[in-house]
Structure 1
Amino acid sequence: MSIPTLGVHLIVYNEEKWLGACLERIHTLADELIIVDTGSTDRSVEIAEKYGATVIHSPWEHDFAKARNAGLVHANTDWILVLDADEQVMAGQEEIKEFLSQEEGSQCLIELVNWTGSGPEECIHYFAPRVFRNREGYRYEGMIHEQLVQADQGSLGEIGLNMEHGMKRCSTKIKTATPPSICPLKVNHYGYLPAVMESKQTAIRNLKIIQQALLINPDDAFHLYNLGVTYCQLEDREQARITFLRALNSCPVNAPYRSTLVQDLGKLLYANHELEQARNLLLTEIRRYRDYPDLHTLLGLVEQEYGMAEQAYGYFEKAVKSGLSSKNQAVPYVTEDGADSYIPLTHMADIDKRKGRASYAENHYRSAIKAHQGYLPAISGLADLLQKEGIADSSIKQILVEIIDRENPEHLHKAAYSLMLCGAYEAALSILPVQSIGIEDESWARACLIQTQRKPQAIQRSQLLLERNKGINQELNDQPVSPCEHEQIELALMDWAICSWSCAEALPQVFYQHSNEDSFFYSEIERRMLNIRQQSEIEYLPQPDSGTLLQKAEKLAGRAAACGQKDLPLFMKKAGLLLPSTAGDLLYKHGFRLEAAEQYLGQLAKGDLHLEGMFQLAEYMYDRANYSESLALFEQAITLSKDHNRARIGAAASCLQLAREAAVRMLNTQTAKTSESTFSTLAQDIAELTGSLQRLDDLNWKTSWDSQARRRGV
């Protein structure tokens, strides 16, 4: 059997940044390379000709199908592969010719992986008809999201995608008499990375073309859907919602892109916290798309928000099962990476952990990590579970290192970060490759040093970062730093100050060479705390004219509490740098609940305890089984705000606990022990009260504490 020829076709416009990488991966397999240039003013044409391409110059007419078809008429090969300049073939180059020599159909699917972020899980997968036979009537239709069609057979494919606030979007439409084959090619697409979309102004371009297309056919559901996608790209959620609903109302039930429209609308409703609308939509549509894992996972998230933990668990389980049944098949859906594996598995593990099903939780975390070794929520969830179960830090470290890819520095960093999150600071430092610590790791690496009493080392790392940043700025002629760099500089300064003050040391002059406009605030904070040390019996009140100073002090105290330095916020409160309520809130947030409760009780005695402080003090009393006190405090919180739902649930839980205690006391009386009917009735009452309390717990009304907080006495 003869080996067929394959031509690769692209349309380009100012793609010099991407074109070379694209062509480098396919020029050896292409018997013919045809590039339609729509008016590039950069080096795109030069790069194309370097790889031996035939360049067709075609003026841009705001019509992608016309540009595609301008190249197809010049094709001389047996088969055609269509790519975009910002796509790269990652696998299948060696196998494609042999595959096509045995292919009996006229068109094939390729697997596309659309990257929407830099993380290994920030991508979506789908199959699209990109390989087809030449001279069999194939052409493209549609001004935008052009569709592959064949004479007298209708549409074969249409593609469109978007990413907005972490919501991945894509639609694929395939309409053929028999399922097309899957060819070996796997292609990465980078055009929907946020930075690329911003540089190309993709959303604005698409909006103009779609609006023009809708002038011709205002009720076209596919164009309406893609208009909603574009509104999401432009961060206009309300218009996106309205447009998605219009599209759904006019979309034929059997339209292959309809499932993705449902997914996108459901994600938008969930992101907008329109839970009832999201639930109604998903419960209706999941009957039609029973094997769509993304819908099951999304419905599980919605049910979790409603406090229906076991129902959510069931939907996550269905998502995993639907993924298992579709392995090695071309699924008819656009699916987020991990929606059928590590994402629902991790949610199942979280529920198992909360319900006390430790062995199930561990198995599900391990399965999630096996599916994606770098998935941080699963790694950190497992570390937290093991700490909660009383496993030694050294053993947690050993377990994590054994189940990740130890040769992958990124995975090793995630394991170290997870150990830090569960309070295993020594273990985290022992596996973190110090020589390769990036700026994004510096702040939590210093936090580990501070909490293991290596404060001089933390100061040294802060100073090195600040000096390195100062040198870089001077090389760049003092250009403005990025928000990320500014945050890291601010944290380095705070850590330096926290370490010095917690050791009763003054900040050195070299510190102020780096603090710039914040020098006054650090100097003033230090001066006030020095006064307190010299006059230990005095407690100052915050001055009414020191708003900015108090904001700086609050941020500094929050970082100190996060690093386990509970005494510094209390000392700053005494110096008049923190309000008592603020000191209590910061301590409570980071797990120092006893110290926070003392602050709240002092305010309660004065009659000025704020709402959140009232709730948190009530929660503290509840967790210590002081249910009468917690009930009284929850009721006071409700008096302060009738809409405080967590306080309402807390009050109900306190009442149920009091009733359960009373029933248990009665069960232990002589009367109950001598009367079988009384004993049976009380036992049933206790079981029902316990079940009601468990259902209230599913509402997640209480503060969720991580391992660090648990170690601090939560």
Structure 2
Amino acid sequence: MGGLIGVVMIVKDEEDKLRACLDSVKNIVDEIVIVDTGSVDKTVDIARTYTDKIYSYPWQEDFSAARNFAIDKCSCKWILSLDADEHLETGAGDLRVLITDTASEAFFIPLKNCISPSGSDFNEIGVLRLFRNLPQYRFFGKIHEQISITDQELVRFSNYPVIIHGYIEPGRRQNKRRRNISMITEQLKRQPENQEFLKYYLGCEWLELGKYQQAYECFWSAYNKLDSTHIFFRSSVIRNLIACLRHMGKFEEALTLCMRETEVYPEYTDLFFDGGVVLEQMGEYEIARRWFKIAIDLGTPCILYQHSNGTEDFLAYYHLGHCCQTIGKSEEASQYYQAALQHNKNFIYPLYGLYMVLATRESCEKIISYFSKQGYIESYESRQALGQLLFASGRPDLAVKVCMQAEGLTMLSCELAKYSLYSGNFKQALDVLQKLKTGSQQNNAEILKTEILAYIFMRDISTAQVKCLEMWRHQTMRAEALSLMALIKRLEGRQQTHITKYEPGFVEHLLNIMADCLRSYSEDSGVFIHVAKCCEELISQFEEGSRTLFAFWQREIKGVEMLLDIRYQNMRGLYSWKKRGP
């Protein structure tokens, strides 16, 4: 044989991902073998800049056949199998040291499957992708193909190298799911002897498509057939069964499964985390806290188990914070939210809870300063989240400042235009909107609505009317255009004509405008108050609108009550306050 390590890949139309994959391995392997199954883009041209071992293979709806063809073309002693949307991280250890002077013939290595564009959210599993180039080691299965090694003494687990599977856009992912379902269903007919594994993979596809009953039936079938010798598949099946039961609202069944299987796998962090989430959904916050603390104490599970990043730290801390906040332990909640952010500052959800706790005792300005010093708002997403919270708190002016602190660069967005608008800076709002109205953004409903409201607040009614007519031309925006035209008529003292077809959307759009006006912060508050009153008058014309208004004011009152309750929690027991209504 030639060198020590060869990378083998099958590709098709991967011009946007292939280069990153090959750059990650080109300096650590001796050979790169690429088998193309019918690309029509620049995939093959890119591949030629890295290797001359490029082969064509007619696609036969069989991943194993294509991969095995690639292995046959490799001359190295060891095979590393990769996909084009993956790349290798070798920083944790030397790949060559791992496979030199070893009696092992294959390694399970970590694969991190990114579930968010940032890459900070991922699931981790162990995959058999590194093995000796021997005739008996070939892939089987037309889809979700695997290498089968009967003598487990020859297989080891390693924490390196790590394969990173890149984030796949939702549309592309959904198309792959439907293709996979068709292929697995056909394979089930031809290979009933592998039913438990095929049912597992089929369940994964249904789960990702949100078909929970179908997924549950597949996982349950696999669960009843898999034993302890297939620990990875069995542990993953258990977690997926719990997910299905949670989505179907069967919390007691999910909890029973968690309790039973944590007895079997007492070291499996993710099961305790899942149990905590189930208990949280059942309203059992104190017990849920104990489960989340166990997950934290256990730490990252071994590679044998399917693992979701964060169940051992930031996710568990976040849920601990939520449980504490819900039962009135706001100081403890604050500590857990901060612990979550310390472990992962890209995980923005603790920001919401921490903000709510701090808002009961600190000014908005002090909260911004504190978040900034702690490094909580360095990312675009975190600044966006804080902007939303500040706007909801009635400080759109501060929301503007947060959105314009992106290392000196303004975050041009519809949100920035909205915050500028409700802080009374109408011209700045229009300037942002004008910059946004390019290309595909030109017919964005939110941009058009914000632009019309800007002219309404500037009392430029004639321009607002012209913009409303432009909006009306778009079939999907007619309910919103109608609500804005009705608002203009009411501001002019005229009555709106009878509305039937667009009534539900009409009420919803006007309620949103009214709510936003209530959160304005400007020296010229009169125009916002006037618009809000006109919206309320228009909504109350309808029976359903009156009910919607009543529900809205109830939510607003409850929000105030909650803040008062947290702020004055030390005085509980010194007074009794009977709240009216349900």
Same fold, TM-score > 0.5, yes or no: yes
- Select which of 523, 546, 549 maps to 1:583: 549
Corresponding position of 1:277:
253
Corresponding position of 1:361:
333
Question: Cα distance, 1:392 vs. partner?
Answer: 3.0
CA offsets 1:429-465 (integer angstroms, 9 cap, x no match)? 43332664445x532x4554456xx31x1x3344234
Q: CA separation in 1, counterparts of 2:559 and 2:317? A: 32
Q: Is the 8 A contact 1:117 1:193 kept in 2?
A: no
Question: Cα distance, 1:12 vs. partner?
Answer: 1.7
Give the alignment's TM-score, normalised by structure 1: 0.68
Question: Cα distance, 1:74 vs. partner?
Answer: 2.7
Corresponding position of 1:530:
492
Question: Can you give the 5+ residue segments of structure 1 that lack an aligned partner in the other structure?
Answer: 154-175, 533-539, 596-623, 635-714
Q: CA separation in 2, counterparts of 1:336 and 1:513? A: 48
Q: 1:75 to 1:585 in 2, by over 3 A?
A: same
Q: Is the 8 A contact 2:32 2:53 kept in 1?
A: yes
CA offsets 1:613-639 (integer angstroms, 9 cap, x no match)? xxxxxxxxxxx9664x84xx55xxxxx
Corresponding position of 2:454:
496
Corresponding position of 2:522:
none
Q: Is the 8 A contact 1:400 1:415 kept in 2?
A: no
Q: CA separation in 2, counterparts of 1:209 and 1:191? A: 23
Alignment: residue pair count: 544
Q: Is the 8 A contact 2:414 2:447 kept in 1?
A: no
- Aligned pairs for 1:67-106 (under 5 A) are 67-92=66-91, 95-101=94-100, 103=102, 105-106=104-105
Q: Match for 2:309: what amino acid? A: D
SS of residue paired to 2:178: helix
Q: 1:521 to 1:509 in 2, by over 3 A?
A: same
Question: Cα distance, 1:422 vs. partner?
Answer: 5.3
Q: 1:134 to 1:285 in 2, by over 3 A?
A: same
Q: CA separation in 2, counterparts of 1:493 and 1:24? A: 46
- Indicate the RMSD between aligned Cα atoms, in angstroms: 3.4
Question: Cα distance, 1:372 vs. partner?
Answer: 0.3
Question: Can you give the 5+ residue segments of structure 2 that lack an aligned partner in the other structure?
Answer: 473-477, 520-527, 562-574
Q: Which has the larger radius of gyration?
A: 1
Question: Cα distance, 1:195 vs. partner?
Answer: 3.2
Corresponding position of 1:379:
351
Q: Is the 8 A contact 2:117 2:167 kept in 1?
A: no
Q: CA separation in 2, counterparts of 1:202 and 1:263? A: 22
Q: Is the 8 A contact 2:138 2:147 kept in 1?
A: yes
- Aligned pairs for 1:225-374 (under 5 A) are 225-256=200-231, 257-323=233-299, 326=301, 330-374=302-346
Corresponding position of 1:168:
none
Question: Cα distance, 1:10 vs. partner?
Answer: 0.5
Corresponding position of 1:463:
430
Q: Match for 1:35: what amino acid? A: I
Q: CA separation in 1, counterparts of 2:404 and 2:140? A: 54
Q: Match for 2:484: what amino acid? A: Y
Q: Is the 8 A contact 1:144 1:210 kept in 2?
A: yes
Q: CA separation in 2, counterparts of 1:179 and 1:395? A: 56
CA offsets 1:71-122 (integer angstroms, 9 cap, x no match)? 2223222322110111122443993334444655333333222123325443
SS of residue paired to 1:299: helix
Corresponding position of 1:49:
48
Q: 1:115 to 1:245 in 2, by over 3 A?
A: same
Q: CA separation in 2, counterparts of 1:560 and 1:493? A: 16
Question: Cα distance, 1:224 vs. partner?
Answer: 1.0
SS of residue paired to 1:51: coil
Q: 1:339 to 1:191 in 2, by over 3 A?
A: same
Q: 1:531 to 1:513 in 2, by over 3 A?
A: closer
Q: Match for 2:224: what amino acid? A: N
SS of residue paired to 1:127: strand
Give the alignment's TM-score, normalised by structure 2: 0.82
Q: CA separation in 1, counterparts of 2:179 and 2:304? A: 28
Q: Is the 8 A contact 1:353 1:361 kept in 2?
A: yes
Q: Is the 8 A contact 1:369 1:403 kept in 2?
A: no
Q: 1:178 to 1:416 in 2, by over 3 A?
A: farther
The farther-off stretch of 33-42 and 259-268 is 33-42
1:472 has 2:426 as partner: no
Q: 1:206 to 1:570 in 2, by over 3 A?
A: same
Q: Is the 8 A contact 2:13 2:39 kept in 1?
A: yes
- Aligned pairs for 1:111-260 (under 5 A) are 111-135=110-134, 137-150=136-149, 152-153=150-151, 176-177=152-153, 180-182=156-158, 184-190=160-166, 192-198=168-174, 201-218=175-192, 220-256=195-231, 257-260=233-236
Percent of pairs with identical residues? 22
